[in-house]
Amino acid sequence: MDDSTKTFLGNGWAFPPAFEMDSKWVAMVSAEEDIQQSIRIILGTIPSERVMDPKFGCDLLSFVFETDDPTYLTLLRDTISDSLLYYEPRIKVKEIRFGKEKLQEGILLIYIDYTVIITNSRTNMVYPYYFKEGTNL
């Protein structure tokens, strides 16, 4: 990967923020790792959570008490797709699928297939959506 590609893909603080013990600097990530962490931040942030950008994030919280019927999953897919389109310009989302194998445990697995635009490399990730987190169920 050449320098112009790395520059476009960017670099930023690792998430969650951490410090490198030897240099005492903030741990940094770059390129594809930066994109993966950015996607996790977008999906894990509730809109209005950030004061300076109240629209930032993905409104997954509004789907917590919904059933797993096709209508719900289509709305969820559109919400995720719109958030990534708006807040992560370095990628093009190809497909969003849902894995129901851990549904009884309160986890909906979100499979996201995307292409990094500048490198034209296809990548995927799995985001675990915990809809029963923090309950005694």
Which phi and psi (to 5°) does residue 57 adopt? 120, -165
**pLDDT level of residue 83 (50, 70, 90 thresholds):** very high
Q: Give the pLDDT confidence score for residue 18 in this predicted structure.
A: 76
Which ranges constitute the DSSP H helices of the chain? Answer: 3-9, 31-44, 70-87
Tell me the pairing of strands 121-130 and 28-30: unpaired
Q: Go through the domains of the chain in sequence order and give each one's CATH number.
A: 3-130 (3.10.450.40)
Radius of gyration over alpha carbons of the chain, in Å?
Answer: 16
Position 107 pLDDT exceeds 80: yes
For residue 44, the SS3 value is helix
Position 16 pLDDT exceeds 80: no
